[in-house]
Structure 1
């Protein structure tokens, strides 16, 4: 399906993304899967093996057919937009290293992404989940793992990938957790004493020996825990207790930011804690909390107090 020359170039490109662009492992894998799917489409479309010549001669019709095929295969617009970005990245590498220019790939616009707001959990569902996640297994150390991991996400607003990278070395720090986020951006997140105590309790029960710089969260077999394994635990939690369908490791990160905002934290501080590059990303939470902000306004603003009985802020 793909020539050996293309396979070799793809390996070079992956190394380039890692060493020169500092892309994370997850990003590199996503790009690789997108490009492989693109090659598979070209092969089926042309009914021949994909070569350096064939990918350099693709036209707008083929690229649009590929995007259209993804749409009919129920891929989300955001997924196809990323796939197109991945393929463009590969062509840029070809231009840089092989002097091969394919103008067609740059003339196709990315599919418009649906504007979705992050979904946070209520405080009640959050606290209930943190309690009940420690009762899903018959093994104590796994229950302690689940509780300490989920509590760490909610207490610190970490991404699941950042949480799963925590090592014993991190725990030695008394005040801050130093994490490497997207784009290899480093940030400091305050330690919460209660979270550290949960993690230390988990480590006492962990039946496997791990080194100082190895991730502490482990699977049943002692291997490094993957996000899919933990997400399976959260699916189990949802189903057993009838919790919201949007409950996920990421929803606890959103809940961290949402509950901070509801309790008076400013957006700039939340941006720093979440590791967002742009404040506009963090500002999404103001839309999520519009009803809360309206309630605060009605209770606090002098003009609102004077006219609240006569004219509601948001009459229906």
Structure 2
């Protein structure tokens, strides 16, 4: 956002944005990074509307936003190099803000809420092949000569692949979750709770790590520890995965999150129910989980193209 654009945003609009960010962050448990992303997207929109209207005009200008204003903003965004996927994200942020603002201020936000999102090709999840997923679990454990750290890294990635956890979910486990049973209660995005089954290999991997870990598992303490005893950072596991995939010749898409994709894809390929997989992953929308059916369809079409005789 330009300095001119930032100055054009009225104090009232700036205050409304800050209030919305604080409210949504509390409700959805947003990270600081997410808050700043929304602040940037909405700040750019508010600045555009202010300048489009001729300068700082307070909340009245926001209530007057019409179809032509939305088209002008989207055209300006595309002209400045914003791709369709990024513009769709920005528009979603604007609509969320306007739903809240229109309810609070009592105006009709139909023009904003009816704006059509640009079409774009959604990126499909990129899971690992089953053999590669199994091998990388062991390969990750070979990145550090210290036995307890090796066991720790194996335990983390086994939970990601075996239970479909996000890396933040695995690393947020505390001593209260121990000993791991046949199921685990996870607090995911937006403070949504779900229960996931814990397969025997994951339980064993965690038990091996706990036997070797030099740090006591006191109440409230993180299960997975850094070298000096603090909570383990995601970047440590990401680095171990990066080394392992380089050794195996796997693409850069073979990240810790790819293990979660692999969990879902392999479960679906084995006949898993899509609704059940949605619950296991903690997806708010079934549409998100359905991306894995597209992965399977893409794989089958690739096999078909390679096998089909050509005239």
Q: TM-score range by the shorter chain?
A: 0.7 to 0.9
Rounded Cα–Cα distance in structure 2 between residues aligned with 1:252 and 1:97: 42
| 1:289 counterpart SS class | helix
1:243 CA displacement? 0.9
C-alpha contact 2:160 2:166 (8 A) present in aligned 1: yes
Rounded Cα–Cα distance in structure 1 between residues aligned with 2:194 and 2:134: 26
Aligned with 1:13 (options 12, 20, 34): 20
Structure 2 residues not aligned, in runs of 5+: 1-5, 302-306
C-alpha contact 1:262 1:292 (8 A) present in aligned 2: no
Cα distance change, pair 108–261 in 1 and its aligned pair in 2 (3 A): closer
Structure 1 residues not aligned, in runs of 5+: 295-312
Rounded Cα–Cα distance in structure 1 between residues aligned with 2:239 and 2:199: 26
TM-score, scaled to structure 1: 0.74
Question: Aligned runs of 1:125-164 on 2, under 5 Å?
Answer: 125-137=132-144, 139-164=146-171
Cα distance change, pair 281–229 in 1 and its aligned pair in 2 (3 A): same
Asked if 1:43 is matched to 2:47, the reply is yes
Question: Aligned runs of 1:136-285 on 2, under 5 Å?
Answer: 136-137=143-144, 139-206=146-213, 211-219=218-226, 222-279=229-286, 281-285=288-292
Cα distance change, pair 262–59 in 1 and its aligned pair in 2 (3 A): closer
CA-to-aligned-CA distance 1:80-109 (integer Å, 9 cap, x gap): 322212122222222222335555422421
Alignment length (residue pairs): 296
TM-score, scaled to structure 2: 0.75
C-alpha contact 1:208 1:222 (8 A) present in aligned 2: yes
CA-to-aligned-CA distance 1:139-193 (integer Å, 9 cap, x gap): 5444333221111010111223322322222223522111133454432211223
Rounded Cα–Cα distance in structure 1 between residues aligned with 2:66 and 2:261: 42
Rounded Cα–Cα distance in structure 2 between residues aligned with 1:229 and 1:194: 22
Aligned with 2:97 (options 75, 90, 97): 90
Cα distance change, pair 95–130 in 1 and its aligned pair in 2 (3 A): same
C-alpha contact 2:181 2:203 (8 A) present in aligned 1: no
Cα distance change, pair 212–197 in 1 and its aligned pair in 2 (3 A): farther
CA RMSD of aligned residues (A): 3.7
Greater Cα offset, 183-192 or 83-92: 183-192
